[in-house]
Structure 1
Amino acid sequence: MSELKTEFLFEIRIQIQPPMDVGQGPDGHRMIFMAKSGHFEGPKLKGEVISMSGGDWSRVRADGSGAIDVRQCLKTHDGAIILMTYGGRMVTSPENFEYFMDYFKPDDPQGAEERYYLRINPLFETGDERYAWLNNIVAIGKGRTGDGGVIHEVFAVN
């Protein structure tokens, strides 16, 4: 079987509002994180996160892992609007959960690598012809928390 190949798309930094704690429901403990700002940059596209255009309807499942459910609008430097949606998983030990949830700690890539697993699977939608290629790719991302929000490195799967 051949190995998957990826191509770096961009790094995105999303600043978040304090979470709305919905509480324990039938599918886990639901928290909603709205995006207040942010930016993304990579070799083929760059721009900003559109303020309050989306967020994460995440939940902590019974086994302690996190299920991520994000919808977010991006605006490229040249005016294209891109809807980015993604699911994903966050897994950490109970003793590292508080560290993961501290979105306001300094960015700590090494700490993230050692203390939790945060992976996403973005899909994109746009009507702008310059970026129509995004409509037909599957992406994956590796994330971490810090600097007021979340940071993801996003790659297209070739």
Structure 2
Amino acid sequence: MQAPGLRPLCEIRADLGPPIEKGGGPGGRWRIIPIIGGTVEGERLSGRILDLGADWQNVYDAGYAELDTRYVIETHDGAMIDIRNFGFRHGPPEVLARLAAGETVDPALYYMRTNPRFQTGDPRYAWLNHTMFIGTGERMANFVRIFIFEVL
């Protein structure tokens, strides 16, 4: 059996609003980070991110964050595509502290991977509904950049 390959799909830049801290419980805290816009650039998928999504994060004392985002892409040709993106971010405590302080940190110093799932009723993009994707990302002060790849 052949191992799956990857084909680039797009780069997402999701602009972020200020985090809303929800408190927490044993082992971590919860926060919501509004997704207030952004861009999608790729040969097969491009457009803009609408101002109506968020990342519901669980940040664990064990040193990792569980990412759970949902937002909408409006393509360059008018299709509406829902994206749900689940993932993890972790790294050395000093690197995560720098990220939390809003510093720009080399993404090679921490792990940020996602599993995006797309859903649309537009027949031009129906192939997104039944295709697997993987993403690698980086966190900046006011936005997240995610490179998404189709799993072949």
| TM-score normalised to structure 2 length | 0.93
Instruction: Give the Cα separation in 1 of the matches to 2:38 and 2:25.
Output: 30
Task: Kindly state the Cα deviation for residue 152 of structure 1 after the two structures are TM-superposed.
Answer: 0.3
Q: How many residues align?
A: 152
Unaligned 5+ segments in structure 1 are none
| Residue aligning to 1:86 | 85
| 2:122 paired residue among 125, 128, 132 | 128
- Secondary structure of 1:78's counterpart equals coil
Instruction: Give the Cα separation in 2 of the matches to 1:125 and 1:102.
Output: 34
Q: Indicate whether 1:112 and 2:107 are aligned.
A: yes
Task: Kindly state the Cα deviation for residue 27 of structure 1 after the two structures are TM-superposed.
Answer: 6.4
Once the two structures are superposed, what CA deviation does each residue of 1:57-99 show, in whole Å capped at 9, x if it has no partner? 0111231111011111110011100000011011111111122
| TM-score normalised to structure 1 length | 0.90
Contact in 2 for aligned 1:101/1:145 (Cα 8 Å): no
Instruction: Give the Cα separation in 1 of the matches to 2:38 and 2:101.
Output: 18
- Secondary structure of 2:56's counterpart equals strand
| Residue aligning to 1:44 | 44
| Aligned residues: CA RMSD | 1.5
Runs of 4+, deviation exceeding 6 Å: none
Q: Indicate whether 1:21 and 2:21 are aligned.
A: yes
| Residue aligning to 1:150 | 144
| Residue aligning to 1:65 | 64
Instruction: Give the Cα separation in 2 of the matches to 1:26 and 1:125.
Output: 34
Once the two structures are superposed, what CA deviation does each residue of 1:94-131 show, in whole Å capped at 9, x if it has no partner? 1111222345x45x6xx111x21000000000000110
Instruction: Give the Cα separation in 2 of the matches to 1:100 and 1:153.
Output: 19
Q: Indicate whether 1:2 and 2:5 are aligned.
A: no
Instruction: Give the Cα separation in 2 of the matches to 1:9 and 1:38.
Output: 16
| Residue aligning to 1:138 | 132
Contact in 1 for aligned 2:99/2:141 (Cα 8 Å): no
Amino acid at match of 2:77: D
Amino acid at match of 1:19: P
